[in-house]
Amino acid sequence: MIKINENYLKLASSYLFVEIARRVAAFQERNPDREIIRLGIGDVTRPLPPACVEALRAAAAEMGEPSGFRGYGPEQGYGFLRERIAGSDYQARGVDVDADEIFISDGSKCDTGNIQELFAGDIAIAVPDPVYPVYVDTNVMAGRTGKFADGRYGGLVYLEGNSANGFVPAPPAGAHADLIYLCFPNNPTGSVATKEQLKAWVDYAKAEKALILFDAAYEAFIADPFVPHSIYEIEGAREVAIEFRSFSKTAGFTGTRCAFTVIPKSCAAFDAAGAAHPLHALWNRRHSTKFNGVSYPVQRAAEAVYIGEGPAQVRETIAYYMANAALIKAQMGALGYRCTGGVNAPYIWIECGSGSWEFFDMLLNDAGVVCTPGAGFGRCGEGFIRISAFNSRENVEKALSMIGAAVKK
């Protein structure tokens, strides 16, 4: 008899975006003539930077010529891209990361989801609440949690984010964790951590012989000069942290697929006898066994983010989204809602003064606007909603005027 992995049965059943889609479809059916503006799902809307499109075209043409054709590339990614990343994203900011510490992949969702394969089944895992659901769900699938009850899985250490800590949880005093997920700028709250706050985490990881998994998918949206772009700006992080970045939100690659993971050679985890093993070698083994590389044209498109007109085009798109974010933050603030985010991240996290789903239904029914209920990101998200800046200016302005009218009703 073929048996299933029963850990999958523990997964909380109502997946957030499925439930949102169900409610939106029901509303549309009741109101076939009403316009709906979607500020919910975290997907980009602006087209690829022209420099990336040009690079894709040129690389596709190369692949069609006997002299330019390429078969399997290096599983870790082409040197041309890894060197650009190391140079532009790290060394140019004074951060010590080498090209061969970078693994190119087809997405940070996969990388943040797959990395847990390197660790033992009985480790203690700390995860922020609220946060991107992939970290928790992949550990549930791997059997590292108990059952789901009251919005939480047994066996996890939840790091609570709230207005008091600005949605930047501190290391848990007196509690041990072996593996710590952090995401800054944060999805869904848009919060950012200062150097001092990240240093507290690095010090905690050292003291606990733990490892930090740092998801920096929204790094490109950081505007304030005091906000660190990389965990490796913190002294000592090269021993205790892995960093994930993606071209998805940076350069509109959600449908093109390219990301990377940084594993410093000095970063280790331990066997049962306490001997240290470099994680770079383990991940290299895993990656080259289960992954065959990102396509050549896509890696050339990612390279274009760093050269010629690419950087300016990327900055322009990000500035467009961030102008949306500023409008959303200003309008929701003017309506009396307390907001986090929207300055160094494309998300505005809004304290709605009622249940997340109630407020979601009110915005949908009275304004025709789709947001994301905070409760979908963890128990601490209850009472909040997330509004995304990924849309056209026109839609954002229309949505804000509809929300204004609905709220004053």
Ligand X SMILES: *Cc1c(COP(=O)(O)O)cnc(C)c1O
- Residue ranges in contact with ligand X by CB under 6 A: 42, 107-109, 132, 183, 187, 215, 217, 246, 248-249, 254, 259
Closest among 396, 358, 41 to 188, alpha carbons compared? 41
Tell me which DSSP letter residue 170 carries: P
Q: Which is nearer to ligand X, 77 or 368 (CB)?
A: 77
Radius of gyration from C-alpha coordinates of the chain: 22
Q: Which is nearer to ligand X, 187 or 356 (CB)?
A: 187
Q: How far is the CB of 277 from ligand X (least distance, A)?
A: 26
Using CB positions, name the residue nearest to ligand X. 107
- Cβ atoms 403, 369 nearer than 8 A: yes
Beta strands in 206-332 (DSSP E): 211-215, 241-246, 259-262, 268-270, 276-278
Q: How far is the CB of 209 from ligand X (least distance, A)?
A: 26
Q: Which is nearer to ligand X, 116 or 246 (CB)?
A: 246
- The H-or-E segment that residue 106 falls in is none
Q: How far is the CB of 48 from ligand X (least distance, A)?
A: 14
Backbone angles phi and psi of 370, in degrees to 5: -100, 120
Enter the tokens of residue 139: 């550990």
Backbone angles phi and psi of 237, in degrees to 5: -65, -25
Q: How far is the CB of 347 from ligand X (least distance, A)?
A: 9
Q: Which is nearer to ligand X, 217 or 367 (CB)?
A: 217
Q: How far is the CB of 154 from ligand X (least distance, A)?
A: 24
Q: Where are the alpha helices (DSSP H) in 38-175?
A: 50-63, 79-85, 108-114, 134-141
Closest among 135, 89, 72, 28 to 293, alpha carbons compared? 72
Q: Which is nearer to ligand X, 38 or 249 (CB)?
A: 249
Q: Which is nearer to ligand X, 135 or 331 (CB)?
A: 135
- The H-or-E segment that residue 288 falls in is helix 279-290
Q: Which is nearer to ligand X, 348 or 367 (CB)?
A: 348
Tell me which DSSP letter residue 376 carries: G
Q: How far is the CB of 8 from ligand X (least distance, A)?
A: 21
Q: How far is the CB of 108 from ligand X (least distance, A)?
A: 4
